[in-house]
Amino acid sequence: MVKRENIVWHNGKVNPEQRRGLLGQKGLVVWLTGLSGSGKSTIAVEVEKRLLEEGYWVYRLDGDNVRHGLNSDLGFSDADRDENIRRIAEVSALFADAGMITLVSFISPFRKMRQFAREKAGAGHFAEVFVRADLETCARRDPKGLYEKAKNGEISDFTGISSPYEEPEDPELLLDTTRMSVDESVEHLLDYIRIVV
């Protein structure tokens, strides 16, 4: 269990409003969730580029990339998936507190952990974006060859096949990538972010 004795919160002399004044934007966690292959990373990469070009302070946390470093000790059991998301929720909440627009693209299949991320970021600093594509479409795209492997039994605990995905019930934004092109999804998300920050 975590050791927490003798740890006292130390307040600083800088507040979020000061950072907001300096940066001209508020911190926001944009949490993209959806099946593998639904388009989260593709959309996040484009949105990051566009926001940067428009002068926003933006950073992207990608599921696969973070699993190379911070979360390299974690696998895909339910407990490890929860811990994966818990750490990302903490990190993205810190980024948002620092004033950054943080694009988070993780499958994040469990509602309770997405709710945890929302609570960590705080009201007005979190947007859940459901990147939706049905399983057949994702399996057809199969950008990383993972569905093929899962079908052949080479991957256990694969979301949508041998591990559940709990769809968002009330996301701030829904991007249905079976109906919208990448460009359309990117424009929708950009419109949303520009209004919110």
| 185 in catalytic set | no
Q: In this chain, which of 41, 108, 159, 163 binds ligand ADP, going by CB under 6 A?
A: 41
Least distance between ligand ADP and beta carbon 48 (Å): 13
On whether the CB atoms of residues 126 and 69 are closer than 8 A, the answer is no
Binds ligand ADP (CB under 6 A): choice among 52, 98, 135, 182: 182
159 sits near ligand ADP (criterion: CB under 6 A): no
What is the rounded distance in angstroms from the CA atom of residue 109 to the CA atom of residue 195? 27
Of positions 25, 33, 39, 139, contacts ligand ADP by CB under 6 A: 39
Give the strands of the sheet with 126-132, arranged side by side.
58-62, 101-105, 28-33, 126-132, 173-176
* # chain residues binding ligand ADP, by CB under 6 A: 17
Q: What kind and span of H or E run contains 25?
A: none
Q: How far is the CB of 122 from ligand ADP (least distance, A)?
A: 26
Question: Other C-beta atoms within 10 Å of 144: how many?
Answer: 12
181 binds ligand ADP (CB under 6 A): yes
Q: Are 159 and 109 in contact (CB under 8 A)?
A: yes
Instruction: Tell me the closest approach of the beta carbon of residue 187 to ligand ADP, in angstroms.
Output: 12
- Among residues 41, 108, 163, 185, which one is catalytic? 108
Q: How far is CA 103 from the centre of its chain?
A: 6
Supply the minimum distance, in Å, between the C-beta of residue 181 and ligand ADP.
5
CA dihedral 109, 149, 39, 162 (to 10 degrees): -20
- Tell whether residue 92 is a contact of ligand ADP (CB under 6 A): no
Binding footprint of ligand ADP on the chain (CB under 6 A) = 34, 36-43, 105, 141, 143, 177, 180-182, 185
